[in-house]
Structure 1
């Protein structure tokens, strides 16, 4: 499933390609045809992201709401002469004379009112990539819960945009036991997790990759500060998908176990219960 940084990059791509235009809107697959007809040729104001939710604002207070889920794809491509024909089951197509965006396989593709969008956001936790994010909202949920911190971080009602890779690497970076109940995690630990998460996800937006290795992070940040962009071809990860391999910090074998429906990866030595 695409994590939050991917949706923010997608929002920027749609904004750059279609913001301020009146794109043709269609549903080649047919499942979104009625709503597409309402949007067709109307003014597209802007696109925005909140966690894993994408919102595209059109005129007449109509908002396209997309959630890609596990298999969804929303590709934005430029073309020269002829508009390329849709391939596969395209739920939604946006098109201008130079750019086309095709949406396939989302779990949500719906037309919302601004009030409905506000209700979706109210049910979703703070997004580390948004300037208006309030981490205390997440902390309020975490320190009252007996659920494991590793499970809480994957709950989009607690924090918006975190996926499994960020969860595993973030907890390892801070030596936090993923099985520790939220109500046993100290506020200082949560503050450190949030601050680091903001840093990691900002680099994710800039590079399009999940970068969690400290040396790669520092190099990417230096490049972003210098040129506004960075390329990380092969991100290194400490524990994610490294079952039975040595932890790069202590050498213990990385373990895996299903938590919250996803494979959790952690170091049993670095991330002992007492260290969090």
Structure 2
């Protein structure tokens, strides 16, 4: 599932391609035909992201809410748009550009109150200027639940996925099994600050790199990562491989339905 930086990049792509422009909307697949008809010809006024949720605002105060889920993806291209292929849930287009949405978990229209309710049920997003990390700390600081689980709870922190969870906890030397209430406020602040930095870099670069300059392949004289993930990481998907810092075998286990990766030496309990 795409992590938060991908959704913020998609918001930026929509602003670049369609902001201030009346868009043609259609649903070649047919599953969003009624919704597409309601926004067809409307001006796209805003493109927003909160966690893994993309929100596109139109001049009639409606918001298109998209959650890609596991299978959803966007394709952008120059006009004229080619005949749609595959199951295109929604196509937005102008005389200059088009965007096709396929396979989302959610594609729906919201009114302002429904959009407000969506924001209210999500935790602070490290990529949003209005994020309040103290809201997350109020949940984390009194919870018996592990920090590894809490970071994946979108009502606690929005936008963090499996990669950012594993990598931020490694970089801060935090055992993912540690209960939230056993963290100090200072340690939580360090995790949050690191998430802000790493996820902003993900928006800028378009992929996730988490290793510090002194641990890059060039600096360490090691082979670069060869993986569809596309970036240099410390522990994510490196199960049974030696930790770059201490040589301990990286471990993995399933936590809250997702594979967790960590170094038992660098992230001591």
Cα distance between partner residues in 2 of 1:8 and 1:83: 24
1:38 to 2:34 alignment: no
Aligned to 1:178: 176
Conserved in 2, the CA contact under 8 Å of 1:63 and 1:111?
A: yes
Conserved in 2, the CA contact under 8 Å of 1:31 and 1:91?
A: yes
Aligned to 1:26: 26
Cα shift at 1:83: 2.3
Cα shift at 1:216: 8.0
Cα distance between partner residues in 2 of 1:257 and 1:214: 25
Cα shift at 1:74: 1.6
Aligned match of 2:233 in 237, 255, 270? 237
Aligned to 1:119: 117
Conserved in 1, the CA contact under 8 Å of 2:253 and 2:260?
A: yes
| CA spacing shift, 1:61–1:266, aligned 2, 3 Å | same
TM-score (normalizing by structure 1): 0.91
Which runs of 5 or more structure 2 residues have no equivalent in the other structure? 217-228
Conserved in 1, the CA contact under 8 Å of 2:215 and 2:244?
A: no
RMSD, matched Cα: 1.4
Q: How many residues align?
A: 257
Cα shift at 1:77: 1.5
Which runs of 5 or more structure 1 residues have no equivalent in the other structure? 219-232
Deviations 1:136-188 (A, max 9, x none): 01101111211110010011000010010000011111110000011111111
Cα distance between partner residues in 2 of 1:27 and 1:33: 5
Q: Which runs of 4+ in 1 moved over 2 A?
A: none
Cα distance between partner residues in 2 of 1:208 and 1:163: 15
Q: Equivalent residues in 2 for 1:45-60 (5 A)?
A: 45-60=45-60
TM-score (normalizing by structure 2): 0.93
1:256 to 2:252 alignment: yes
